[in-house]
Homo-oligomer: A and B are copies of this chain.
Amino acid sequence: MSRSQKSDALIIDTLRKNGYKATTQRIAICRFALHSRDHPTAQRIYNEVRKMHPTVSLATVYKTLQILTEHGLVQELDLPQSQARFDSYVGLHINLVCMQCGNIQDFDDKTAQEMVESVTAKAQFTRTGQRLDIYGMCKTCQDRTK
Which A residues fall within an 8 A CB radius of B? 69, 76, 78-80, 84, 94, 96, 99, 105, 107, 109, 111-112, 114-116, 118-120, 122-139, 142
Contact = CB atoms under 8 A, between A and B. Distances in A.
A142 B114 CA distance: 23
B129 A136 contact: yes
Contact of A105 (B76, B123, B130, B137): B123
4 tightest CB-CB pairs across the interface, nearest first?
A78-B78, A127-B136, A129-B135, A126-B137
Given A80-B76, A111-B115, A135 B127 contact: yes
Q: Looking at A114, A132, A133, A142, which has the most chain B CB atoms within 10 Å of its CB? A: A132
B137 A128 contact: yes
